[in-house]
């Protein structure tokens, strides 16, 4: 059982427990906002800082890359030294680095700040879900709390573009990072009083070699995927180091897994994966998030740079989907009392796949209405599936391992975010580069910028004579749209694969 802070007996009362949940939702909102806010601020940042395509992808990827690489470590640290303590340390660091990111004068410094945000963000998410597991021991209340947690994540993902859009209408792009400060202040002030401390009562010594190898292994694998997806295998000078990093990453992860299986006090209990529902839910989260994040990466640019909406209006287009996700996530709690949770999880994944399939069918005319409809189906399925999969994940392990289980869940999410952007997002970039026609007579800098990204082409088109600028813009928009079919088809297949895994695993359990 889990060791609780003395205040835990008070926090265990229903009213105090729900107040504690309200405070825990603040970092959830923050991290989810941070996942999407940069995508909508990206066109503005691109025009001002003028990063190349690789740096632009690093701006988006580095946060999730560092976060995903450290979640397992931070989950283990939270189990050992206290989840609330780790949460408050992460919140403090996140607030300070957010200010640094807001005033970054160069693209490179912004990338570094995003990496630091990933470091401190890795302390937040495992702590929140792990604490919820222990604050709500009752299954029904825990499922409702996780539904609210998942709804907050969905709301934050959609509020990110809206908040960012509103700020970008009146302030420089750095304002989208400063929003972290007012969100985190209530957590830092009230958290020590409302949130009970919890940790593993018998954690054993911290395995420092496992900490280092888990981070370097994950970093090497994700870096290789991102680099090879972007640069391909054309120039050995570029792909050989990336491939070597990937191989070393795989070796490091294999060594880490073997060490954990032999350890009496593992940093990550690999025996958790022997439980089929746990593993199936993790895989479902991973595959669905790969598809969803890639779709958001595309839609955020499509709404602004192709359909010409302002950042605020682009964010509002996604608001109905966020509302649907919240309603479905909360509604599934009651449905789970009448129907098998695994069946509802399967329905959710099929709805997500249907949304992607709808986007594939309408890829030739993705109007605002089409995006609202497709995103609505996506979020309907996400609300169902994320609530149930996270509940299965945390309820299928002992309370003392809640932090580790939550870390695995969040690692799957963040790794899915990185891979979604690095692979499917890079497909869009590759199609763009192959299809865009840059007019002659431009400076080398203008030619490079217009040929690399849609945002760069928009910026260059504003510097050209009207006719030439219009021709470049039309070509760039058409080139960007050329990869939509591949992206939506791949997203549909990935989500259907997740549904198949869930169906097979739970069917086998029922037939035993």
Would you say 59 and 86 are in contact if contact means Cβ atoms under 8 Å apart? no
Would you say 19 and 194 are in contact if contact means Cβ atoms under 8 Å apart? yes
Would you say 151 and 329 are in contact if contact means Cβ atoms under 8 Å apart? yes
Give the count of alpha carbons within 13 A of 424, CB side only: 30
Name the helix (H) or strand (E) containing 442: none
The distance of Cα 228 from the centroid of its chain, to the nearest Å, equals: 21
Backbone angles phi, psi at 370, to 5 degrees: -65, -40
Q: Pseudo-torsion of CA 453, 457, 458, 461, nearest 10°?
A: 170
In whole angstroms, give the CA distance from residue 453 to residue 141.
47
The DSSP code for 4 is E
Per-residue pLDDT of the chain (512 residues; tens, 9 = 90+): 344 443 343 344 578 888 888 898 888 888 777 766 676 677 778 778 777 766 777 777 788 778 777 877 787 777 778 888 999 999 999 999 999 988 888 888 998 998 999 899 888 877 787 788 778 877 778 778 877 877 777 677 667 667 777 777 778 888 888 888 888 999 999 988 888 887 767 666 777 888 888 888 877 877 787 677 666 666 677 778 888 988 998 998 899 888 888 887 777 777 778 778 888 888 888 888 777 777 877 887 788 888 888 777 887 888 888 888 888 888 888 888 888 888 888 999 999 999 999 988 888 788 899 999 999 998 899 888 887 887 787 777 666 666 666 667 766 776 676 677 667 777 777 778 888 888 887 888 888 788 877 878 888 888 888 888 888 888 888 888 777 888 888 889 888 988 998 898 888 777 66
Find, among 263, 429, 428, 285, the residue nearest to 352 by Cα.
285
Other Cβ atoms closer than 10 A to 234:
8
In whole angstroms, give the CA distance from residue 499 to residue 284.
7
pTM over 0.75? The answer is no
Find, among 455, 472, 407, 507, the residue nearest to 125 by Cα.
407
Tell me the DSSP string of 55-104.
Answer: HHHHHHHHHHHHHHHHHHHHHHHHHHH-HHHHHHHHHHHHHHHHHHHHT-
Q: Which residues contact 133 (CB under 8 A, 6 or more apart)?
A: 142, 394, 395, 399, 402, 405, 406
At CA 296, angle to CA 104 and CA 230, rounded to 5?
A: 70
In whole angstroms, give the CA distance from residue 432 to residue 344.
38
Q: Two tokens at 157?
A: 């993902």
In whole angstroms, give the CA distance from residue 11 to residue 233.
56
Q: Two tokens at 244?
A: 């070597």
In whole angstroms, give the CA distance from residue 120 to residue 132.
20
């Amino acid at each position: 059982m889990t060791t609780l802070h003395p205040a835990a007996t008070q926090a265990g009362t229903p009213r105090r427990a729900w107040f504690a949940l309200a405070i825990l939702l603040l970092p959830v909102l923050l991290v989810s906002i941070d996942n999407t806010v940069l995508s909508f601020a990206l066109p503005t940042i691109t025009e001002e800082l003028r990063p190349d395509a690789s740096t632009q992808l690093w701006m988006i990827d580095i946060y999730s890359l560092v976060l995903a690489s450290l979640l397992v470590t931070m989950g283990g640290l939270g189990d050992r030294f206290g989840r609330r303590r780790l949460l408050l340390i992460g919140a403090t660091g996140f607030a300070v680095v957010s200010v640094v990111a807001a005033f970054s004068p160069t693209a490179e410094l912004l990338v570094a700040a995003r990496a630091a945000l990933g470091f401190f963000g890795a302390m937040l998410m495992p702590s929140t879900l792990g604490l919820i597991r222990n604050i709500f021991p009752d299954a029904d209340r825990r499922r409702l709390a996780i539904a609210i947690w998942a709804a907050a994540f969905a709301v934050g993902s959609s509020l990110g573009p809206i908040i960012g859009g509103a700020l970008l209408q009146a302030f420089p792009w750095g304002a989208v990072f400063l929003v972290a400060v007012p969100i985190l202040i209530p957590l830092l002030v009230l958290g020590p009083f409302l949130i009970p401390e919890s940790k593993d009562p018998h954690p054993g010594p911290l395995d420092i070699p496992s900490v280092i190898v888990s981070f370097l292994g994950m970093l090497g694998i994700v870096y290789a995927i991102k680099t090879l997806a972007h640069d391909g295998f054309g120039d050995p000078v570029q792909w050989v180091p990336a491939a070597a990093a990937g191989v070393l990453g795989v070796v490091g992860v294999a060594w880490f897994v073997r060490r954990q299986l032999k350890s009496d006090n593992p940093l990550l209990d690999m025996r958790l994966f022997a439980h089929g529902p746990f593993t199936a839910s993790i895989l479902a989260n991973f595959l669905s998030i790969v598809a969803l994040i890639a779709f958001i990466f595309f839609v955020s640019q499509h709404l602004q740079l192709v359909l010409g909406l302002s950042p605020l209006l682009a964010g509002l287009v996604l608001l109905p989907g966020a509302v649907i996700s919240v309603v479905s996530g909360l509604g599934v709690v009651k449905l789970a009392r009448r129907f098998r949770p695994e069946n509802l999880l399967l329905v959710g994944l099929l709805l997500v796949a249907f949304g992607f399939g709808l986007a594939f069918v309408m890829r030739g005319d993705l109007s605002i209405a089409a995006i609202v409809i497709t995103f609505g189906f996506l979020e309907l399925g996400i609300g169902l599936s994320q609530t149930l999969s996270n509940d299965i994940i945390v309820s299928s392990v002992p309370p003392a391992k809640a932090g580790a289980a939550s870390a695995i869940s969040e690692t799957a999410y963040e790794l899915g975010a990185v891979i979604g952007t690095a692979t499917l997002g890079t497909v869009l970039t590759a199609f763009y580069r192959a299809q865009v026609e840059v007019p002659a007579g431009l400076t080398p800098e203008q030619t490079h910028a217009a040929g690399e990204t849609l945002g760069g082409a928009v910026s260059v088109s504003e510097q050209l004579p009207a006719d030439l600028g219009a021709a470049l813009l039309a070509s760039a928009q058409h080139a960007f749209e050329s990869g939509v079919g591949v992206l939506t088809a791949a997203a549909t297949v990935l989500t259907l694969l997740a549904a198949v895994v869930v169906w097979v695993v739970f069917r086998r359990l029922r037939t035993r």
